[in-house]
Amino acid sequence: MNPRRELYTLVGADLLSNLGTRISVVAIPWLVLETTGSPTRMGLVAAAETLPYMLSSALATPWADRFGVRRTSIVVDAASAVAMAVVALAPWLGFGTLLVLVAIAGGLRGIGDRVKHVLFKPAAERAGVPLIRLTSAYDGLARGMTLFGAVLGGLLIDWVGLTPAIWIDAATFAVCALLIGVLVRPPAPTQPAPREPYLRALRGGFAYLRTDRTLLVMLIVVSASNMFANASVAVWIPLWVNEVLGDPAGFGLLLGVFSAGALLGNLLFTLVGTRLPGQAVFALGLALSGAPRLLALALSDDLVVVLVVTFLSGIGIAAVNPLLGAALYQRVPAALQTRVLGISGSVAFLGLPVGALLGGWSVALFDLGPALLVMSVACLVLTVAPLLFLRSGAGRPAPEPVAPTPA
């Protein structure tokens, strides 16, 4: 198969599974609301999916290495299709069964997302595509898919009904498994990796990440950025819209403008990213994407001002994920990429649940305006200051890991 076509197939399959996930993000809470009428149970379902996703991203990767990355991707996507198809039957199976099914689906998706991303690097190398260009283009497409999938989820519920919408989500996973099974066939490694005991393999991933100070700091600041972003979406922006505009449509407008800025930034970065100084752009992107948005909300009641700052912040965030992704691909040895990428994903997502709690706690303590001022300073300190302690030689190869020993 043509190497570029194989790369496009792999990326397209991953984006398709993302689309299905976005549909379920809308459909499953709606299913819980329709069947139980309980906001508390909606939160329980969200937690039941998110926690296994984070855990499996890190803890299941040694098994993925042993089973085979491509084979794991096919199996977990097929299993995700089955799990989501059964979720559609949840009204007849009971709320407890729904929690279990959603937890299984979240755990499977965590593994599937990580192993498909491991396949990206060798596919890009065979196709002759620079990694920074691949990660930037993928980040932009994934953001667009997130925006489109959320809208599509709502429309599908309206057009075909709730249960068929969840079946469509299941179908996206099935098609993804089929595409990778038939059209993605990476060459077999010339020297198979030695089999390691599970705990030793997992420790190897953590040990490598601990030795690479640059990657560890990048992951910590991205996790902090995710924390403030989730607090903004969950609490601060809705409260500002309610207090200043009094119209919930403003919430969607602000999110849409941020996404539009991110998409434009991804396009620009895809074109010129290979010629830019990575570490400086990474720090600048974090500085623009967080604190200015919070300051604008704290200091202005003018929607136009807030929209302009939000749009520029979206452009800033566009460079962050591609540069982190490229650093992971370039610095982590191939034998460790599955487990290190899995652990890295879990670290980067740690800020999400903390952010929702931080948002509510900060407003309860300070009120909205003062909370936004305090948190804008905290955001700048936590997302940018750690990068100042990295040496300018951050692009140097990381220390070589100790070779794994056979079981």
* Whether 181 contacts 26, CB under 8 Å: no
CATH architecture of structural domain 207-388: Up-down Bundle (1.20)
C-alpha torsion angle, residues 137, 324, 221, 227 (rounded to 10): 40
The reported pLDDT for the residue numbered 252 is 73
For residues 26 and 284, which has the higher predicted lDDT (pLDDT)? 284
Tell me how far apart the alpha carbons of residues 221 and 88 are, in angstroms, rounded to a whole number.
38
pLDDT band at 44 (very low <50, low <70, confident <90, very high): confident
Which residue did the predictor score with more confidence, 401 or 33?
Answer: 33
Alpha-carbon distances of 57 from 5, 290, 299, rounded to whole Å? 27, 26, 39
Q: Which of 109, 111, 102 is nearest to 84 (CA)?
A: 102
pLDDT band at 167 (very low <50, low <70, confident <90, very high): very high
Q: Using CA atoms, how far apart are residues 18 and 137, in angstroms rounded to an integer?
A: 15
Query: pLDDT at position 71, please?
Result: 94
Residue partners of 306: CB distance under 8 A and separation at least 6: 240, 254, 296, 297, 300
**Three-class secondary structure of residue 87 per DSSP:** helix
Instruction: Judge contact between 167 and 85, C-beta under 8 A.
Output: yes
Instruction: Give me the phi and psi of 185, to 5 degrees please.
Output: -135, 80
* Cα dihedral 303/309/310/316 (nearest 10): 170
pLDDT of residue 192: 58
Share of the chain above pLDDT 70, in %: 92
Q: Where are the domains of the chain?
A: 3-184, 207-388
pLDDT at 393: 40
Give the pLDDT band (50/70/90) at residue 281.
very high
Residue type, 40: T
3-184 and 207-388 in the same fold: yes
The pLDDT tens digits of the residues spanning 81-133 come to 999 999 888 777 788 888 899 899 999 999 998 899 999 999 999 999 999 88
Residue 308: pLDDT band with limits 50, 70, 90 = very high
pLDDT band at 171 (very low <50, low <70, confident <90, very high): very high
pLDDT band at 396 (very low <50, low <70, confident <90, very high): very low
Residue with the larger pLDDT of the pair 45 and 96: 96
Q: Which among 304, 259, 33, 320 is positioned nearest to 328, based on CA atoms?
A: 320
DSSP string, 107-163: HHHHHHHHHHHHHHHHHHHHHT--HHHHHHHHHHHHHHHHHHHHHHHHHHHHHT-HH
User: Which pLDDT belongs to residue 382?
Assistant: 94
Q: How far apart are CA 251 and CA 307, in angstroms?
A: 11
pLDDT at res. 398: 40
Q: How far apart are CA 363 and CA 159, in angstroms?
A: 39
Q: What percent of the chain has pLDDT over 90?
A: 48
16 vs 20: CA distance, rounded Å: 6
Residues with Cβ < 8 Å from 33, sequence gap 6 or more? 39, 42
pLDDT at 277: 87
Q: Taking the CB of residue 407, how many other CB atoms lie within 10 A of it?
A: 11
Pinpoint the alpha helices (H) of 160-248.
Answer: 162-183, 198-211, 213-231, 237-240
Is 26's pLDDT higher than 80?
A: no
Identify the helix (H) or strand (E) that includes residue 355. Answer: helix 351-366
Instruction: Say whether pLDDT at 404 is over 80.
Output: no
Distances (CA, A) of 244 to 59, 138, 240, 303: 44, 36, 6, 9
Of residues 309 and 350, more confidently modeled: 309
At 401, is the pLDDT very low, low, confident or very high (cuts 50, 70, 90)? very low
Q: What is the pLDDT of residue 302?
A: 94
Question: Closest Cα partner for 283 from 249, 324, 335?
Answer: 324
Q: Report whether 32 contacts 42 (CB < 8 A).
A: yes
pLDDT at 397: 39
Q: What is the pLDDT of residues 208-234, one digit of tens each?
A: 999 999 999 999 999 999 999 988 887
- Name which residue leads in pLDDT, 391 or 61: 61
d(C-alpha 9, C-alpha 273), whole Å: 23
The predicted structure's pLDDT at residue 16: 93
| pLDDT tens figures, 235-277 | 898 889 889 988 777 877 888 888 889 989 988 998 888 788 8
Helices 303-317 and 278-289: angle between axes, nearest 10 degrees: 150
What CATH fold (topology level) applies to the domain 3-184? Growth Hormone; Chain: A; (1.20.1250)
Give the chain's count of helices (H) and strands (E): 19, 0
